Amino acid sequence: MRRVFLLGMLSGFVYFVGTLYWIAIVMATHGGLPTFGAWALMGGLAVHLSLFVGLFTWWLGRGVRRFGMAGVWLAPCLWVATEWLRAWLGWEFPWVLLGSSQATVVPVVQLASVTGVYGLSALIALVSTAAAVMALGHRSTHRRGVMAVGALVVVVVAWGTWRVHDGALAQMGSPIRVRLLQGNVPQDTKGNPAFASAIVDRYIGLSRQVIGDGAQLVIWPEASIPFYFDLDPRQAAPIRRLAAEARVPFILGTDDWEPARDGQPQRFYNTAVLVGTDGATRASYRKVRLVPFGEFVPFKKILFFVGTLVEAVSDFTPGQEFTVFDVEGSRLSVAICYEAVYASVARAFVNGGSQLLTTITNDAWFDRSSAATQHFEQAALRAVEQGRYLVRAANTGFSGAVDPYGRLLSRTELFQTTAVTVDVRLLSGRTIYQSIGDVVAWLSLVVAAALVWMTRRKARGESPPDTRRIPQS
């Protein structure tokens, strides 16, 4: 079993290094770490995440020892259970869940409207399980199981194709025209006060271009304001004046600050601000889910050797509430950056009455790595899960929109200074997933726990394992 666990960890390590290599580049380029230290820290993260894959193979190994070849069919439940644990334990890192690979496979991704991303993960793991059983199993029952999986895939694809063709959600709700700004501000100038005026002028110029386009809402990216918007009236005045003159609401990304008081240290927040048609701040949302090693450093006392990174990373405080904005009678939410990979965040916003999902981000950190694509596609999954349109404003791209079926409506290129207009709709219905949540994950955890209990009884000697049912190779 130790060998089974280590083989799983090795597979997981390859998986996470291959998908998260860009973290080392970010930490070396923007975090001030030496190249070796950045890659070592990224490798440490990959090892941490691979523990969950090792747990999966260990669990599956116990299932095979208990049930023989039939135990392999437990793989989808066990995989989903360990994905859920990865998303909620330790560093809480639900990036590149297996199901997110289907974001652009439109017929298949419709399943997310019923089961969420974990149901997609289970489906992919089930197909892989069928392939393994077909290669190793020789009994007719196993062959029938493989045929059943094939039939299930056909049903999922056929239903997904019909759902997209029906397109009922694209005809519902009230239309709204949204303008997304992509300022393309280099990361090394964003925090430099010498460039503050130029950055604001760039965004004001882009905003003026789009106001005559009939836009009913203008969205600036995460941290697009290079000062504390609500604490600096002088620098904020031109932006407030523009919103009041145009009679168009703005959503802006900015930092917020609270001074130390009552024995509490000063606090910094990553914030989205709603500016009304009169130029006044109408509401604000403080980011709840922060980025590990981007907005805070987890386990600082243990990771004392990354002092340079600790100094470079902004030590933000998480917000406490998923605030939904009321924009001239329209209800919409703003997920900030990393929050878009959390299905639970989008679900909390929709439970709060959000009719449109928006996300603002600054992906300049990622340069031209695959991270920007991964980020965009994982956000697109939220639209299918919640049955909402989703619009996204990113500093350097990708900015764009997807419809409730995950179909791409518009997407900019990386590192372009541009603005894009998208026509979307405000929706109020609920998907099955929005109503039931992560039932697939909870059932998978129950199955995994039951397997541990059953194999624990087995280990106490109630009955020996039937090794004749386990294929030897």
Q: Encode pLDDT of 180-201 as tens digits.
A: 999 999 888 887 888 889 999 9
Task: Say whether both 161 and 247 belong to one domain.
Answer: no
Is the bond into 398 cis (omega within 30 degrees of 0)?
yes
Report pLDDT for 348. Answer: 96
d(CA 188, CA 128): 44
User: Going edge to edge, which strands form the sheet with 267-275?
Assistant: 281-286, 267-275, 250-258, 217-219, 174-182, 418-426
Task: Say whether both 74 and 125 belong to one domain.
Answer: yes
* Cβ contacts of 162-165, under 8 Å, gap ≥ 24: 163/110, 163/113, 163/405, 164/106, 164/107, 164/110, 164/405, 164/407
Assign residue 235 the CATH number of its domain. 3.60.110.10
Task: Say whether both 88 and 149 belong to one domain.
Answer: yes
Report pLDDT for 90. Answer: 63
Task: Say whether both 445 and 329 belong to one domain.
Answer: no
Closest CA to 343 of 393, 386, 387: 386
Which residues in the chain come in under a pLDDT of 50? Answer: 462-469, 472-473
DSSP class per residue in 410-446: EE--TT--EEEEEEEEE-----HHHHH-SHHHHHHHH
Segments forming the whole domain that contains residue 159: 2-166+438-469
Task: Say whether both 120 and 46 belong to one domain.
Answer: yes
Task: Say whether both 44 and 182 belong to one domain.
Answer: no
Question: Which helix (H) or strand (E) element contains residue 401?
Answer: strand 400-402
Domain count within the chain: 2
Residue written as token pair 């005559």: 212
Report pLDDT for 209. Answer: 82
CA of 41: how far to CAs of 17, 24, 33, 368, 379, in Å?
11, 7, 10, 21, 26
Q: Which residues pair with 264 in a beta bridge?
A: 261
Q: How many CB atoms lie within 10 A of CB 461?
A: 7
Report pLDDT for 292. Answer: 73
Task: Say whether both 264 and 305 belong to one domain.
Answer: yes
Burial (CB count <10 Å: 0-12, 13-18, 19+), residue 221: buried
Question: Which helix (H) or strand (E) element contains residue 325?
Answer: strand 324-327
Task: Say whether both 42 and 159 belong to one domain.
Answer: yes
Task: Say whether both 129 and 199 belong to one domain.
Answer: no
Question: Structure pTM?
Answer: 0.90
Task: Say whether both 193 and 111 belong to one domain.
Answer: no
Do β-strands 324-327 and 217-219 pair in parallel, antiparallel, or remain unpaired? unpaired
Q: Residue 411: what are its φ and ψ, rounded to 5°?
A: -155, 130
Report pLDDT for 161. Answer: 98
Residues in the chain: 473
Report pLDDT for 456. Answer: 74
Task: Say whether both 399 and 262 belong to one domain.
Answer: yes
Task: Say whether both 243 and 209 belong to one domain.
Answer: yes
d(CA 279, CA 310): 37
Active site residues: 222, 287, 337
